[in-house]
Chains A and B, each alone.
Chain A
Amino acid sequence: MSAKRSILCAIAFAAAAVASAAPLPATIKIGVVETLTGDNSAYGISIRKGIELAAEEINASKLLGSSQLALVVADDKADKQEGISVFTKLINDEKVSAIIGPTLSGTAFAADPVAQKAGVPVLGTSTTAVGITAMGDFIFRDSLPQAAVIPGTLAAVIAKYKPQKAALLFQADQEYSKSEADVFKASLAKLNIQLVATESYSKGDSDFRTQLQKLFSKKPDILVLCSLVGEAIPVLQQAREIGITVPIVGGNGFNSPNVIKNAKEAAEGLIVGSSWFIDSVVPKSKAFVEAFRKKYGGDPDQFASQGYSGLFIVANAIKGSGSADRTAIRDALGKVKGLDTTLGSFSFDENRDPVCQSVPLTVKDGKYVLFQ
């Protein structure tokens, strides 16, 4: 496969000495800690699918020569204590070389220090909160922090609609939604757009009409929504029901095939920014979407894509270091530069955060297309 070869080429080996060390073991265990049950399992399940697909491809293509990746999957139940427990188990009992996960930032703040202390590299594929990678030099992520996505999206919106006033809705008791809203607020201020109203809802709410009505009464030019996928759909529909026709800019939660599938015409015209979308023209991505559809019979979302790329990033680090040693993998991860992934050309910056493209998208005729 040409995609695989390009990854090989893209890796810059810093020292040949590392590569010429002892051969890789026959199986290399990689821990996968995701939220697989409960309300938040939509993300975890999606990520797991992406990772398992990647593992199959890596093993089939002999990317690591004769050695095979073996995934050890665990459910963190979106619970801090469970996250710590499974991290410890994977590190001590399963002797994994690296861990991908956990799904939520809250779990990561509790569990990642365990790996950091044990010297096990962790790659988050869905944790976007501020401070995740600051927990230590073993903590990486391939999910773009909100601050890397939102300003670009807003700039594109300004270019097209020239809005003066914006209104914002977010989930007050949800870490992800809250920090996304904070980034939006800061970016709006920087771009001189007046935030005329902010409303929130909390977990368990399903009727958002009053908040939307109140926002609508302030006559904003654009409406910014920060919700997780679950609430994104009813929020969108109720916004349209109320008669809100101004452009809607959605946060990361709105970038999911499920939003289009369920919100249908209410999703039309929605604008989101993301490092990945289903109709991305990146070659690796096209191959990924095709393989994913073939294996699972449905469309992948951004999280599946990030999970898929996540395992490739780890595999390439193993290849690069020529070792299944945890510290060696960590060192090699730090050197990932310009790797060809579904997210486009991918690198880590000096803070172990991802450097990759982010594109503004809009929904047109039931599809995410580039927003121009």
Chain B
Amino acid sequence: MKIAPWAVAAVVVAADAYLCVKNPQDLDRLLINAMLALSAFATLHARLLSLASAGFAAIGAYASAIFTIKLGLPVYLSIPAAVLACAAVALVIGLPVLRLKDVYLAICTLGFGEIVRVSIILLPGLTGGATGANLSTGFAYEAMKKTQAWSLALALAFLCYLFWSASRSKTGRALRAIRENPEAAETMGIDVVAYKNMAFLASACIAGLAGAFYAHSIGSLDNGDFKFNRAVDILGYAVFGGSGQWFGPILGAGFLTALPILLRDGLGSSIGFLKDFAQLPNILNGLALMLVIVFAPGGIAALFVRRGERRATGPAKAMKLDALDVLAFAAVGSAARDSAARGLSAGGPGTFLSLSGVGRSFGGVLALSELSFDMEEGRIYGLIGPNGAGKTTLINLVSGLLPPSAGKIEWLGREIQGRKAHRIARSGIARTYQNIQLFGEMSVLENVVVGHHARIRSGLLAAWLRLPSMLREEAEARREALGLLGRLGLSGLAGMEAAKLSYGDQRRVEIARALALQPRLLLLDEPAAGMNEIETAALGDFIVDLKRHGVAILVVEHHMDLIMAACDEIVVLNFGRKIAQGSPAAVSRDETVLEAYLGRE
């Protein structure tokens, strides 16, 4: 089903504009809902299924009302103060709650809203209690009704700018990466927990802002204004609009706010025989919801993405991998050279990588036990063993995705066991995955630029101010990433959606992404899986070339030709234990190894 997205957006915008001209009161409502939708988007986009927006909006609304009425603050102070109050609450509850997954988080945040509501009722002196904040409880309308639509529109426009500029910076990219694959994002040096906390905080602040504006737009409040249904509605705006693009929730809120009003006005007095059927607008509203979501299952904004991607991938799809690409693949990039230089200069005394007595069990089953071996800088290590020998577990331990249950891992003279994966990645260990873990909906280029995350210094503030330094860094990261892609024979695919690539190409993109981190140690988990012989051979050459530029490599592989040709040293695992270690020649003669592993071939 193809729908022209701009037509959809145009219809939504036109409908909303019509409404606002016709009834300016609806403008406030529209803008507040759009703001609430952005708040839900902030969390949803970071892969947090949070329903806390309504609760924070309630806090923002009541806080601003109380600051205005009880403390006599002017409204331009009380609104920011209310936002700060929300931020404080978000910091306190975010810490424990954000550990929860998906629906568990959703229900907990619904519970948060319920607790806020009960607290409002239980503090009648402050909030007016169940009676609400209105004239009868000392919250006079004239003193409350302080904001005009223009200030609300200005605030929303400002928020949109913040979202737009953030989306075009490392922050936006990191969040997109987290949304697609939090684990891979973590091993690319992205502090996933910090970003999720940030997203939750941002969501709370925006919800608080929307709530404060609500209080000053309506002029009265009660505990029912942000109840359970409201929380679901708000999430609905974001989902309906699409959680991939920041403008999605705004379109979603625009559509979902305008629809019932248009239905009301269209049906209200014009259809005489239906005049006693007050539920009709609601029924049609429900029908429209169901219909639209079937045609735009990823939300309205997803329609835009699909089209944008068609444009980008059109010519690229025609490109076939040819011999030139394969040759290019074998040629090492300067990125590796850079990283080697950096690595050497940063290298301190002590061991490069050293494992001693490392073990890991899963529910009582030992996947690895008593594993000890050292790696030296600039050499290639092969890790082999039958399926289930613990090879991937070892890579997960070294890259920090799993903490070991026993033993020590020393990296550049520091113990890193139990250290978070993003910190290990930043310290110079990059990895690829046995089951490809690309950011599937992002372009190939963007996937690789994610690897630059740790190196791009400009943070959110620089992105918001669009500082030249930040723009320069971004451009540089892109240029470097393009270069890396070129050397891996992938430049023609830079604009393509990563998930659309062939298996072999995806593996190479993963390697490019890992190299973008400029690692000193590269962990490759079955890099040749799915490759043909020519490609495998080229990969072998590529690895050797990487070594020549100072990158140490630990490669897990079943292609014995590759292992034998490329590796300086081989570690053999069987049932979680090291059964042999040595040069390829020595290992291939080892009796135990032949028995356990090679013998079976």
Partners in one complex: yes
Judge whether A178 and B219 touch: CB under 8 Å.
Answer: no
Interface of B is mostly: helix
User: B23 at the A/B interface (Cβ < 8 Å)?
Assistant: yes
In this complex, which of B225, B268, B278 has the most chain A Cβ atoms within 10 angstroms of its Cβ? Answer: B278
Contacts of A89 in B (CB 8 A): 22-23, 265
User: B126 at the A/B interface (Cβ < 8 Å)?
Assistant: no
Which listed segment binds B: A169-177, A210-218, A333-341, A355-363? A169-177
User: B220 at the A/B interface (Cβ < 8 Å)?
Assistant: yes
User: B164 at the A/B interface (Cβ < 8 Å)?
Assistant: no
How many Å from the CB of A321 to the closest CB on chain B? 26
Partner of A178, one of B23, B129, B227: B129
- List the count of A-B residue pairs having beta carbons below 8 Å apart: 98
Judge whether B279 and A130 touch: CB under 8 Å.
Answer: no
For the complex, what is the distance from the CA of A75 to the CA of B280, rounded to whole Å? 11
Judge whether B129 and A88 touch: CB under 8 Å.
Answer: no
User: A269 at the A/B interface (Cβ < 8 Å)?
Assistant: no
For the complex, what is the distance from the CA of A92 to the CA of B219, rounded to whole Å? 20
User: B586 at the A/B interface (Cβ < 8 Å)?
Assistant: no
Judge whether A113 and B141 touch: CB under 8 Å.
Answer: yes
Judge whether B141 and A109 touch: CB under 8 Å.
Answer: yes
User: B13 at the A/B interface (Cβ < 8 Å)?
Assistant: no
How many Å from the CB of A48 to the closest CB on chain B? 9
1/0 per residue, CB under 8 A from A, across B8-50: the answer is 0000000000000011111011001000000000000000000
For the complex, what is the distance from the CA of A206 to the CA of B66, rounded to whole Å? 33
Judge whether A73 and B275 touch: CB under 8 Å.
Answer: yes
Are A131 and B136 also in contact (CB < 8 A) when A37-B282, A93-B22, A174-B130 are? Answer: yes
Are A172 and B23 also in contact (CB < 8 A) when A80-B218, A85-B29, A178-B130 are? Answer: no
Which of chain A's residues has its CB closest to B278's CB? A36
User: A163 at the A/B interface (Cβ < 8 Å)?
Assistant: no
Which of chain B's residues has its CB closest to A130's CB? B136
Judge whether A88 and B132 touch: CB under 8 Å.
Answer: no
User: B345 at the A/B interface (Cβ < 8 Å)?
Assistant: no
Judge whether B25 and A88 touch: CB under 8 Å.
Answer: yes
For the complex, what is the distance from the CA of A45 to the CA of B26, rounded to whole Å? 25
Q: Which of B212-237 contact A (CB under 8 A)?
A: 218-220, 222-225, 227
Are A106 and B23 also in contact (CB < 8 A) when A36-B278, A129-B131 are? Answer: no
User: A282 at the A/B interface (Cβ < 8 Å)?
Assistant: no
7 CB < 8 A contacts A-B:
A37-B282, A75-B278, A80-B225, A81-B29, A88-B25, A173-B223, A178-B129
Judge whether A114 and B117 touch: CB under 8 Å.
Answer: no
Which of chain A's residues has its CB closest to B142's CB? A113
Judge whether A75 and B264 touch: CB under 8 Å.
Answer: yes
In this complex, which of B129, B132, B227, B275 has the most chain A Cβ atoms within 10 angstroms of its Cβ? Answer: B132
Which of chain B's residues has its CB closest to A131's CB? B136
For the complex, what is the distance from the CA of A138 to the CA of B281, rounded to whole Å? 31
Judge whether A175 and B22 touch: CB under 8 Å.
Answer: no
User: A84 at the A/B interface (Cβ < 8 Å)?
Assistant: yes
Which of chain B's residues has its CB closest to A174's CB? B130
Partner of A114, one of B25, B26, B131: B25
User: A179 at the A/B interface (Cβ < 8 Å)?
Assistant: yes
Q: Which of B100-143 contact A (CB under 8 A)?
A: 117-118, 121, 129-132, 134-137, 141
Contacts of A75 in B (CB 8 A): 264, 278, 281
Judge whether B132 and A175 touch: CB under 8 Å.
Answer: yes
User: B326 at the A/B interface (Cβ < 8 Å)?
Assistant: no
For the complex, what is the distance from the CA of A175 to the CA of B121, rounded to whole Å? 10
How many Å from the CB of A101 to the closest CB on chain B? 14
For the complex, what is the distance from the CA of A74 to the CA of B117, rounded to whole Å? 29
User: A134 at the A/B interface (Cβ < 8 Å)?
Assistant: yes
Are A85 and B23 also in contact (CB < 8 A) when A113-B219, A129-B136, A172-B121 are? Answer: yes
Which of chain A's residues has its CB closest to B220's CB? A109
For the complex, what is the distance from the CA of A333 to the CA of B329, rounded to whole Å? 89
Judge whether B23 and A81 touch: CB under 8 Å.
Answer: no
User: A110 at the A/B interface (Cβ < 8 Å)?
Assistant: yes
Judge whether A173 and B121 touch: CB under 8 Å.
Answer: yes
The 3 closest A-B pairs by CB, nearest first: A131-B136, A36-B278, A178-B130
Judge whether B129 and A72 touch: CB under 8 Å.
Answer: no
Contacts of B131 in A (CB 8 A): 129-130, 175, 178-179
User: B502 at the A/B interface (Cβ < 8 Å)?
Assistant: no
Judge whether B26 and A37 touch: CB under 8 Å.
Answer: no
Contacts of A173 in B (CB 8 A): 117-118, 121, 130, 223-224
Partner of A172, one of B25, B130, B135: B130
Knowing that A75-B278, A130-B131 touch, tell me 12 more A-B residue pairs with CB under 8 angstroms. Answer: A41-B278, A73-B269, A75-B264, A85-B29, A89-B23, A89-B265, A109-B219, A109-B222, A129-B131, A171-B130, A174-B130, A178-B130
User: A189 at the A/B interface (Cβ < 8 Å)?
Assistant: no
Contacts of B129 in A (CB 8 A): 178
For the complex, what is the distance from the CA of A74 to the CA of B129, rounded to whole Å? 29
Partner of A131, one of B121, B134, B275: B134
Judge whether A106 and B268 touch: CB under 8 Å.
Answer: no
Contacts of B23 in A (CB 8 A): 85, 88-89, 92-93
Which of chain A's residues has its CB closest to B134's CB? A109
Judge whether A84 and B121 touch: CB under 8 Å.
Answer: no
For the complex, what is the distance from the CA of A132 to the CA of B136, rounded to whole Å? 8
Contacts of B29 in A (CB 8 A): 81, 84-85
User: B420 at the A/B interface (Cβ < 8 Å)?
Assistant: no
User: B312 at the A/B interface (Cβ < 8 Å)?
Assistant: no
Interface of A is mostly: helix
For the complex, what is the distance from the CA of A202 to the CA of B24, rounded to whole Å? 35
How many Å from the CB of B334 to the closest CB on chain A? 59
User: A135 at the A/B interface (Cβ < 8 Å)?
Assistant: yes
Contacts of B269 in A (CB 8 A): 72-73
Contacts of B218 in A (CB 8 A): 80-81, 84, 110
Q: Which of B239-284 contact A (CB under 8 A)?
A: 261, 264-265, 268-269, 275, 278-279, 281-282
For the complex, what is the distance from the CA of A37 to the CA of B286, rounded to whole Å? 14
Contacts of B130 in A (CB 8 A): 171-175, 177-178
1/0 per residue, CB under 8 A from B, across A127-141: the answer is 001111011000000
How many Å from the CB of A29 to the closest CB on chain B? 11
For the complex, what is the distance from the CA of A80 to the CA of B226, rounded to whole Å? 11
Q: Which of A160-205 contact B (CB under 8 A)?
A: 171-175, 177-179, 202-203
Contacts of B265 in A (CB 8 A): 89
Contacts of B478 in A (CB 8 A): none
In this complex, which of A45, A86, A93 has the most chain B Cβ atoms within 10 angstroms of its Cβ? Answer: A86
How many Å from the CB of A188 to the closest CB on chain B? 19
User: B419 at the A/B interface (Cβ < 8 Å)?
Assistant: no
For the complex, what is the distance from the CA of A37 to the CA of B118, rounded to whole Å? 25
Are A109 and B25 also in contact (CB < 8 A) when A74-B268, A75-B264, A173-B223 are? Answer: no
Which of chain A's residues has its CB closest to B225's CB? A80
For the complex, what is the distance from the CA of A267 to the CA of B32, rounded to whole Å? 45
User: B146 at the A/B interface (Cβ < 8 Å)?
Assistant: no
Judge whether A85 and B135 touch: CB under 8 Å.
Answer: no
Are A134 and B121 also in contact (CB < 8 A) when A75-B278, A85-B26 are? Answer: no
For the complex, what is the distance from the CA of A114 to the CA of B218, rounded to whole Å? 10
Q: Which of A56-114 contact B (CB under 8 A)?
A: 72-75, 80-81, 84-89, 92-93, 106, 109-110, 113-114
For the complex, what is the distance from the CA of A55 to the CA of B118, rounded to whole Å? 42
User: B145 at the A/B interface (Cβ < 8 Å)?
Assistant: yes
For the complex, what is the distance from the CA of A350 to the CA of B369, rounded to whole Å? 88
For the complex, what is the distance from the CA of A129 to the CA of B227, rounded to whole Å? 21
1/0 per residue, CB under 8 A from A, across B439-480: the answer is 000000000000000000000000000000000000000000
Are A175 and B278 also in contact (CB < 8 A) when A134-B135, A135-B135 are? Answer: no
Contacts of A80 in B (CB 8 A): 218, 220, 225
Contacts of B141 in A (CB 8 A): 109, 113, 135
How many Å from the CB of A274 to the closest CB on chain B? 22
For the complex, what is the distance from the CA of A215 to the CA of B282, rounded to whole Å? 41
Contacts of B279 in A (CB 8 A): 37
1/0 per residue, CB under 8 A from A, across B280-306: the answer is 011000000000000000000000000
Contacts of B137 in A (CB 8 A): 131
For the complex, what is the distance from the CA of A92 to the CA of B21, rounded to whole Å? 12
